Amino acid sequence: MPVTEAEREPVAVVGMAVMLPGAPDLDTYWHNLRTGYDAITDVPADRRDPHFHAGVPDPTATPPPDRTYCHRGGFLAPFTIDAAGLGIVPNAVDTVEPDQLLSLRVAAAAVADAGGARALGDRNRVGVILGRGGYIGPRMVGLEHRVRTVRTVLRVLAELSPGLGAAELEVVRAALLEPLGPVRPESMINLVPNLAASRIANRLDLRGPAYTVDAACASSLLAVDQAVGELAANRCDAVLAGGVYHGHDDTFWAVFSQLRALSPSQRIRPLSATADGLLIGEGAGVVVLRRLADAQRDGNRVYAVIRGVGSASDGRTQSLFNPDTAGQRTALLRAWSAAGLDPTAPDAVGMVEAHSTGTPVGDAAELTALAEVFGAPPGACAVIGSVKSMIGHTMPAAGIAGLVKAVLAIHHGVLLPTLHCADPNPLLERTRFHTIDTAKPWEGVEPRRAAVNAFGFGGINAHVVLEQHVPPRRAAPARVAGAVRVDTSEPVLRLAADDPAELTRLLDAVERGERVAPTGGRFRLGLVGPTERRISLARRLLTRAGRPGWSWGTGDVWFTGTPLLREPGAKTAFVYPGLEAGFAPKVDDIAALLGETAPSTDTATVARHVAAVADVGMLLHRALTALGVRPDGVAGHSIGEWTAAVASDTRAGARPVIGLDGFPMPEVDYLALGCSIDDATAGIADEPHVVVSHDNAPRQTVLCGPRAALGRLATRFRAAGVIARPLPFATGFHTPMMRPYLAPYLTAIAEAGTRPGALPVWSATTVDRYPDDPAALLALAEDFLVRPVRFRELVERMYAEGYRVFVHMGAGQLGSFVADTLGDRPHLVINAASATRPGIAQLRRLTTALWVHGAHPDESVVDVSPARSGVPVRVSAPVLTVAESARGLLDRRAVPAAPGGVAAELSALVAETEGAVRAVVAATTAPPAVAAVTGTGTGAAAGAGPDARVGRTRVSVRDMPYLRGHRFFRQRPDWPDESDYRPVVPATTLVEWARQAAEREWPAEVVIAVRDIRFTRWLVAAPAREVEIRLERAVAGGSISVRIGEFATMSVEVAASYPRATGSPLEPGPVVGQVLTPSTIYGGRQMFHGPRFQGLTGIASHDGGLASGRVTVLPAPGAVLDNVGQLLGCWLQTRADRRVLAFPVRVAAITFHGPPPPVGAEVDCVVRPRVPDDTAVEMDAEVRHGDRVWARITGWHDIRLDCDHADHAVYAFPRDNALSRPLADGWWSAQDRWTTVASRDVFAGVYLNAPERAEYAEVPPRERRTWLLGRIAAKDAVRDLLPDRLFPAQIRVTGDGDRLLVRGHHTPSLPRLRVELARGAAAVSARVERTTGDV
Partner 1 sequence: MSDTTTAPDSVFDEVVDLIGALVGDDLALLGVEVRRDTAFHEDLGLESVDLVTLGGLLADRYGPRVNLAEHLAEFELDDVIGLTVGRIADYVAAALGER
Question: Among residues 53, 393, 621, 966, which one is catalytic?
Answer: 966
Cβ contact 966:985 at 8 Å: yes
- DSSP character at residue 658: T
* CB closer to partner 1 out of 541 and 832: 541
Ranges assigned E (strand) in 282-336:
283-291, 304-313
Q: Per-residue contact track with partner 1, 570 to 589, x per CB under 8 A?
A: -----------xx-------
Q: Give me the phi and psi of 489, to 5 degrees please.
A: -130, 40
Residue 721 touching partner 1 (CB under 8 A): yes
**Residue 1287: CB minimum distance to partner 1, A:** 52
Residue from 478, 742, 908, 909 that binds partner 1 (CB under 8 A)?
Answer: 478
* CB closer to partner 1 out of 764 and 911: 764
User: How far is Cα 638 from Cα 1175, in angstroms, rounded to an integer?
Assistant: 55
- DSSP character at residue 739: G
Contacts of 162 (CB under 8 A, 6+ apart): none
* CB closer to partner 1 out of 119 and 335: 119
**Residue 196: CB minimum distance to partner 1, A:** 37
**Residue 528: CB minimum distance to partner 1, A:** 15
Residue 483 touching partner 1 (CB under 8 A): yes
Quick one: how far is CA 1048 from the chain centroid?
35
C-alpha atoms less than 13 angstroms from C-alpha of 329 in its C-beta half-sphere: 14
- Tell me the window of 499-507, 599-607, 717-725, 752-760 that interacts with partner 1 (CB under 8 A): 717-725
Which candidate, 133, 71, 50, 49, places its Cα nearest to that of 97? 133
Q: Which amino acid, 1069?
A: G
* CB closer to partner 1 out of 608 and 718: 718
Cβ contact 837:602 at 8 Å: no
**Residue 807: CB minimum distance to partner 1, A:** 17
**Residue 1085: CB minimum distance to partner 1, A:** 46
Question: Among residues 1122, 1202, 1204, 1276, which one is catalytic?
Answer: 1122
Contacts of 1333 (CB under 8 A, 6+ apart): none
Helices 791-800, 814-822: crossing angle, 10 deg rounding: 60
User: How far is Cα 463 from Cα 333, in angstroms, rounded to an integer?
Assistant: 9
Which candidate, 577, 714, 590, places its Cα nearest to that of 643? 577
- Tell me the window of 705-713, 721-729, 906-914, 1279-1287 that interacts with partner 1 (CB under 8 A): 721-729
Residue 1293 touching partner 1 (CB under 8 A): no
* CB closer to partner 1 out of 537 and 1179: 537
* CB closer to partner 1 out of 711 and 802: 711
* CB closer to partner 1 out of 280 and 538: 538
Residue 1 touching partner 1 (CB under 8 A): no
**Residue 476: CB minimum distance to partner 1, A:** 3
- DSSP character at residue 742: H
- Number of continuous H segments (helices) and E segments (strands) in the chain: 36, 49
* CB closer to partner 1 out of 188 and 720: 720
Q: Give me the phi and psi of 1187, to 5 degrees please.
A: -100, 15
Q: Per-residue contact track with partner 1, 270 to 309, x per CB under 8 A?
A: -----------------------------x----------
Residue 341 touching partner 1 (CB under 8 A): no
User: How far is Cα 389 from Cα 402, in angstroms, rounded to an integer?
Assistant: 11
Site for partner 1 in 47-86 (CB under 8 A): none
* CB closer to partner 1 out of 197 and 525: 525
**Residue 198: CB minimum distance to partner 1, A:** 36
User: How far is Cα 23 from Cα 26, in angstroms, rounded to an integer?
Assistant: 7
* CB closer to partner 1 out of 552 and 1088: 552
Give, in order, the Cα–Cα distances in Å from 811 to each of 198, 487, 576, 685, 1084. Answer: 34, 19, 10, 35, 44
C-alpha atoms less than 13 angstroms from C-alpha of 1291 in its C-beta half-sphere: 30
Site for partner 1 in 622-681 (CB under 8 A): 674-675
Q: Which uninterrupted H or E stretch holds 1131?
A: helix 1119-1135
* CB closer to partner 1 out of 544 and 1205: 544
**Residue 342: CB minimum distance to partner 1, A:** 31
Burial (CB count within 10 angstroms: exposed 0-12, middle 13-18, buried 19+), residue 1264: middle
Give, in order, the Cα–Cα distances in Å from 1123 to each of 145, 956, 1143, 1164, 1167. Answer: 45, 22, 13, 11, 12
Contacts of 1097 (CB under 8 A, 6+ apart): 1077, 1078, 1109, 1110, 1111, 1112, 1162
Residue 711 touching partner 1 (CB under 8 A): no
Residue 1094 touching partner 1 (CB under 8 A): no
How many residues bind partner 1 (CB under 8 A)? The answer is 42
Cβ contact 1171:1109 at 8 Å: no
User: How far is Cα 938 from Cα 957, in angstroms, rounded to an integer?
Assistant: 17
Residue 719 touching partner 1 (CB under 8 A): yes
- Tell me the window of 77-85, 473-481, 512-520, 1112-1120 that interacts with partner 1 (CB under 8 A): 473-481
- DSSP character at residue 280: B
* CB closer to partner 1 out of 674 and 1195: 674
For this structure, is 966 an active site residue?
yes
Site for partner 1 in 781-840 (CB under 8 A): 813, 816-817, 819-820
Cβ contact 396:219 at 8 Å: yes
Q: Per-residue contact track with partner 1, 672 to 701, x per CB under 8 A?
A: --xx---------------------x-xx-
Residue from 216, 464, 541, 852 that binds partner 1 (CB under 8 A)?
Answer: 541
- Tell me the window of 160-168, 531-539, 856-864, 934-942 that interacts with partner 1 (CB under 8 A): 531-539
**Residue 619: CB minimum distance to partner 1, A:** 24
* CB closer to partner 1 out of 167 and 483: 483
Residues facing residue 131 across a β-bridge? 213, 243
User: How far is Cα 6 from Cα 8, in angstroms, rounded to an integer?
Assistant: 6
- Bridging pattern class, strands 1228-1231 and 304-313: unpaired
- Tell me the window of 102-110, 236-244, 459-467, 479-487 that interacts with partner 1 (CB under 8 A): 479-487
Q: How many of the other CB atoms lie within 10 Å of CB of 961?
A: 11
Query: Sign of the CA dihedral 363, 367, 370, 372?
Result: negative
- Tell me the window of 491-499, 505-513, 723-731, 1195-1203 that interacts with partner 1 (CB under 8 A): 723-731
Residue 547 touching partner 1 (CB under 8 A): no
Residue 537 touching partner 1 (CB under 8 A): yes
Residue 413 touching partner 1 (CB under 8 A): no
Residue 477 touching partner 1 (CB under 8 A): yes
Residue from 52, 75, 135, 552 that binds partner 1 (CB under 8 A)?
Answer: 552
User: How far is Cα 958 from Cα 753, in angstroms, rounded to an integer?
Assistant: 67
Residue 808, by phi and psi: left (phi above 0), alpha (psi -120 to 50) or beta? beta
User: How far is Cα 1234 from Cα 869, in angstroms, rounded to an integer?
Assistant: 10
**Residue 790: CB minimum distance to partner 1, A:** 17
Residue 724 touching partner 1 (CB under 8 A): yes
Residue 718 touching partner 1 (CB under 8 A): yes
**Residue 673: CB minimum distance to partner 1, A:** 9
**Residue 617: CB minimum distance to partner 1, A:** 20
User: How far is Cα 712 from Cα 669, in angstroms, rounded to an integer?
Assistant: 13
**Residue 477: CB minimum distance to partner 1, A:** 5
Residues marked as catalytic? 966, 1122
Task: List contacts with partner 1 (CB under 8 A).
Answer: 299, 473-479, 481, 483, 533, 536-537, 540-541, 544, 552, 554-555, 581-582, 674-675, 697, 699-700, 714, 717-725, 728, 813, 816-817, 819-820
